Structure 1
């Protein structure tokens, strides 16, 4: 009866592992003269191929490991070139695909402003007619009412305007924007800080012979959209990214600013025109900001 094969037993009938074979009896592959050195599976190493693992793949550590991966994640997205006409067209198509929430929210905002103006004017008129001598108590109440009305007006203006920038970014991305999205406080604090800082910078620039203010407005055109599109950048990161986009796209940026100016001028000629021109300018600039920063933007047919 034959004995079971035992690679370590010379009496098992198979003999010891020969020098030119492995433990399973397979012949050992030898490297021929001039043949490139191969791995343990007999696959030759290709000339000029970087050293890798046993399967020929470059090691994770050689690619930078976790540090290299993290570094890639923190790199700014490669920006695309902006086409001002295309941003105008795509912004318009995005807006009119879901126009109703924009119109209704702006109508409510305008109605609130009108009511507050009435609340400020009426007490002054009544006080002036009823107290020609100017009673201190009545005057104090009048002043408090006016301060309250102005405060509500300012808060409402910031609330709607900042939500307009945020919703413009969402609209051109293809997200669904609703009426209540224009009256949300959450997530507006960084944008509010940026809005105030931009107003100070541009205001000081306009005081200094106007031109510095125009230059600041040019470089910061995309900042308020980027703070919502890429919140991980923070305020200063959004400022820096806006400057970089404007530097890479000087012509399209100037053209977009001209478009926005003409839209606002057209809207101011007809009161109802702002219902269209204000959201359209925001969506146009949002599309350009996303495009310039390398963000994915929905293509509207």
Structure 2
């Protein structure tokens, strides 16, 4: 059992990356990986059975993917009943030091494994089967024969599922994100200055013409039921949000990495006096913001540590 545990722990990080992309939820991904461990330890505890598995990573990914597929199919029903717009629970980490936008190779590899909220949002457009096919083949280079085994379809059908998913991910209305951290920081500095000015004309220069804004309040706070699209509509929405928060007092924030991309963790007061904790992530492409994603559902951000005394507005 110790040997099995060691083998599995060596693959846990990779499995978690696969499951997170499939499910869009870190907690659900962790549950899927734990279920994979239970099946692994139960099915391969006999040394003879373990010896028959020559590609352990392949066996684990196949098992984990089937678990994720079941979760995705049930999640579609839950999402349809979700109050308002849905965003994934954010994975929030600290921003590197001022000179840390050119990290060492090991850190760069870790960051490359991050997702970005924009991709997770686009993946929500896919069917469970399309999402599994796209993640396995396009992200993790799993051969279509193995993808077909997970989905219980032919390799050609698996290829078609991945192709349809690819078209949806790269659709013209999908938020685009291509900026490195240094460019993200420049754009967000300009965005913060524009928001602070309160001038719509200044803000729209930072936003892409087809920018989209999505807010997930989980029914706890008022929020639109549909994304807001278009530079002027999104600009007015954001100026109103931050302007009202500033007028109520207590607005503070700090830069953070949200799924590997630069964003903000902020706190302010709702108009009824309740404290609001919000995580905002951005998609940045060609020097402009293409997506603004506000996560303020307490069930998804409530476990984050509160802001310290160093938090200010605008975040820096």
TM-score bin (small chain):
under 0.3
What is the TM-score when the length of structure 1 is the normalising length? Answer: 0.25
More helix by percentage: 1
Flag the structure with more relative contact order, 1 or 2, with Cα contacts below 8 A and sequence separation at least 6.
1
More strand by percentage: 2
What is the TM-score when the length of structure 2 is the normalising length? Answer: 0.24
CA radius of gyration, larger in: 1
